[in-house]
Amino acid sequence: MAKTRFKPKGKVVIGTVKGDLHEIGKNILVMMLKGAGFHVIDLGFDVPPEKFVKALKTENAKILAMSCLLTTTMISMEDTMEALREAGLSGKVKVMIGGPPTTDDFAKQIGADFRGRDAYEGVEQAKLFVS
Ligand code: B12
C-alpha cells in the first residue's frame, strides 16, 4: 500500500494506557484499522498521557484510541482526557476507548466520544469519525 498512491482514510494514534501491559486486544484493533485503510501510530502499552498528546500533535492525528484491561488503569484514561484538555486538543480529536472494564457510562463520564465492545466496532466508529 505504501508504494501505491493509496491515500489513508485517516490517522489513528493508539495505545494501552499507563500501568497496563495488556496489548492483545489493542493489537487486533491495530491490524483491523490498518486493513480498513487507516494510518495507525501504535504507541504500544503502558503509554503515559503526555506520550499520547505528543504523538497526536506530531502526527496531526484526529483520532485517539485507548485500551485498558485492568479496572485499576481506567483512571489512566481519565488522566489522558485531562491531558488532552490541557493541551487544547479537546474537541479537535475524536476519542474512542475499549477493553472489558470500560462501559458506555464511563466513556461519557470522562468525555470520550465512543466506547467499543470489540475491534470491529472500533473500526466502524473510526470510519464514522472520518466520514
Ligand atoms: C493475556 C492476559 C495477561 C497477559 C498480557 C499479555 C499481553 N502481551 O497482552 C499478562 C500475563 C502480561 C497479564 C498480566 C496481568 N494481568 Co492479565 N489477563 C490476560 C487475560 C488472560 C487475557 C486478556 C486478553 O488478551 N484477551 C484477549 C483480547 C483479544 O481481548 P480484549 O483485550 O478484551 O480486547 C478485545 C475487546 O476488549 C476490544 N478492545 C480492547 N481494547 C480496545 C480499544 C478500543 C478503542 C476498542 C474500540 C476496542 C478494544 O477489542 C478486542 C478484540 O475484539 C485476561 C483474562 C481474560 N480471559 O480476559 C487477564 C486479566 C485481564 N488480567 C488480569 C490481571 C489482574 C493481571 C495482572 C495484574 C496479574 C498479576 N497479578 O500480575 C497482570 C497486570 C500486568 C499489568 N500491569 O498490566 C485480570 C484483570 C482484572 C481486572 N478487572 O482488573 C484479568 C481479567 C484476569 C482475571 N480474571 O483476574 N495478563
- For residue range 11-45, list pLDDT tens digits in order: 999 999 999 999 999 999 999 999 999 999 999 99
pLDDT on residue 64: 98
Average pLDDT of the segment spanning 104-127: 98
pLDDT band at 4; cut points 50, 70, 90: confident
| Mean pLDDT score, 78-99 | 98
88 within ligand 1 shell (Cβ under 6 A): no
- Do residues 44 and 27 lie in contact, with contact meaning Cβ atoms separated by under 8 Å? no
**Among 12, 42, 69, 115, which is best to mutate for testing ligand 1, by the most ligand atoms less than 8 A from CB?**
69
pLDDT band at 7 (very low <50, low <70, confident <90, very high): confident
The response to whether residue 69 sits with its C-beta less than 6 Å from ligand 1 reads yes
Q: How many other β-carbons are positioned within 10 Å of the β-carbon of residue 115?
A: 21
Ligand 1: which residue has its CA nearest to atom 40?
Answer: 99
Q: Is 30 in the pocket of ligand 1 (CB under 6 A)?
A: no
Lowest mean pLDDT of 6-15, 24-33, 102-111, name the range. Answer: 6-15
Is the C-beta atom of 104 inside 6 A of ligand 1? no
The pLDDT of residue 19:
98
Are the C-beta atoms of residues 82 and 49 closer than 8 Å to each other? yes
CA neighbor of 42 nearest in space, from 75, 31, 72: 31
Cβ density class 101-111: b for 16+ within 10 Å, e for less: ebeeeebeebe
Question: Is the pLDDT confidence value at 6 over 80?
Answer: no
Query: What is the position in ligand 1's atom list of the atom closest to the CA of 65?
Result: 45
Residue 2: pLDDT above 70?
Answer: no
| Mean pLDDT (whole number) for 64-87 | 98
Return the exposure string of 71-81: e unless at least 16 CB atoms fall within 10 Å of the residue's CB, then b: eebbebbbbbb
- The DSSP secondary-structure symbol of 47 reads B
Minimum CA distance residue for ligand 1 atom 37: 99
